[in-house]
Amino acid sequence: MSVTIAPTNAFSNDAPYLNVSNRNFATLWNALGLDVGDWVGEIDPLDVMCALRRFDPSLVVRETIEDGCMISCGITPEQVERYRSILTAVCNVAFANGSTITFC
């Protein structure tokens, strides 16, 4: 399963979006101090931008964990920077369109 984060009502095929696994989404959203809720919702891009400004990337980086049944590949520092970059672009498009950001 995965979660997609995108500008609401972005009418362009090249609008930025972020698609992450449920676990990475929860880790990222919690590190940003944002409410995961029921994994579906809309959020003001200003809230996301403010969260990104005070964001501590070290809260998101995880090592690979192997517990016999499941392998969690973690989140690398490079992934964290990519997430931050794409979320910033999503916010910019949402601001430009006067819309919210949808995650589902």
pTM across the whole model: 0.85
Q: Considering only residues 57 and 43, tell me which one the structure prediction assigns the higher pLDDT.
A: 43
- The pLDDT score that the predictor gives to residue 65 is 62
Q: Is the pLDDT of residue 71 over 60?
A: no
The three state secondary structure string of the chain is: CEEEEEECCCCCCCCCCEEEEHHHHHHHHHHCCCCCCCCCEEECHHHHHHHHHCCCHHHCCECCEECCCCEECCECHHHHHHHHHHHHHHHHHHHHHCCCEEEC
What are the tens digits of pLDDT across the range 9-54? 876 678 899 999 888 898 899 999 998 888 889 999 999 999 999 9
